Amino acid sequence: MSQSEVLFEVRGHAGLITLNRPHALNALTAGMARDIHAQLLAWRDDDRVRHVVINAAGDKAFCAGGDIRQLYDWGLAKDPAFIDFYRTEYLLNIFIKRYPKPYIAIVDGITMGGGVGISVHGSHRIATERLTFAMPETGIGLFPDVGGTYFLPRCPGRLGMFLGLTGHRLKAADAVFAGVATHFVPSGDCLALIDQLAIADDVDVCLSQFARSPGDPPLAEHASEIDRHFAVSGVEEITASLKADGSDWALKTLAIMASKSPTSQKITHEQLTRGAEVDFEACMQIEFRIVNRIFAGHDFFEGIRAVVIDKDLTPRWQPATLDEVSEDVVASYFDSLDEELPV
């Protein structure tokens, strides 16, 4: 990996990480994840570094996710690099979640999948007006991973279940409302914010000087509907509830869900239900078990074919309907592995 794909600098009190693949929307590679983990480990024990700031080059994306095309190629070839990537990524997610120093992520632009994993678990998450935050994995035959098992069930009400099943995209106000961002700072102020964080003794005081109101969150007006429909006991029950509602919002949501992988939706519902009851490490263990089964399955590769490779946007899911995805099949994704994630 070219070292230039991620840059490290100690600036004053701050350890500064800059994702540097703007041509690829700063998509996260295994090499980048390993280097970030190693640098965070070094900075953890470096008295010069009081806090860490992660940002990204370019004005389009913080990090649009993992390198999906590379994962697709590895998966088709049954290359163990596929599972190695997820092991590396998930261990980094855990390290960030448990990091003993403030970890400030400036999420300016597209932030999805792997980009969520290296930001949302930090102590401070700074959204800008350019943020587009999403966990769109059910649309490519995957599931909301990188710690989604933990943070989605802890969003207000049933918002996390809604986000996980639909892949709904959040702008800054909704990201703060959902709790995935802690502050809103205009993008034009972010360079000055980084400069001030480099000399700041108190991160919270510094952020309070830059934070602004993100405005009213559009999702708030649908919060009661989300809580009502997404609190029922399964995906079929959610779709039935939305259909019975019949409102424009409910029918639009139903149509979005109908486009997603039935298997992914059922896995996601079970994943988030379990995740609400266990700690972060157990959540990541769950995700590693699921992704190992995804590697051996069909829908992830079909989803990537339809969305990224052929771009026909017409995935042929197998099974094609929710009714065909049995409880036993879903449960098998959560079975223990011979080689578990070493948490």
* CA distance to 4, 82, 175, 291, 341, per residue, from 168 (Å): 32, 26, 11, 22, 29
Identity of residue 75: G
Catalytic residue among 15, 65, 113, 114: 114
* CA distance to 212, 228, 280, per residue, from 266 (Å): 38, 19, 21
Name residue 52's beta-bridge partners.
15, 103
Residues 6 or more apart whose CB falls under 8 angstroms from that of 338 comprise none
Name residue 66's beta-bridge partners.
28
Measured in degrees and rounded to the nearest 5, phi and psi for residue 122 equal: -75, 165
Catalytic residue among 108, 145, 225, 287: 145
Catalytic residue among 35, 137, 270, 287: 137
73 is catalytic: no
324 is catalytic: no
Whole-angstrom distance, CA of residue 28 vs CA of residue 41: 19
Whole-angstrom distance, CA of residue 179 vs CA of residue 329: 32
What's the token pair of residue 84?
């190695």
* CA distance to 42, 97, 331, 340, 343, per residue, from 91 (Å): 16, 10, 24, 12, 7
202 is catalytic: no
* CA distance to 298, 302, 311, per residue, from 305 (Å): 11, 5, 7
Catalytic residue among 15, 65, 66, 122: 66
Nearest Cα neighbor of 286 from 334, 332, 337 is 334
66 is catalytic: yes
Q: Are 306 and 219 in contact (CB under 8 A)?
A: no
Neighbours of 237 (CB within 10 A): 14
Whole-angstrom distance, CA of residue 15 vs CA of residue 7: 11
Active site residues: 66, 114, 137, 145
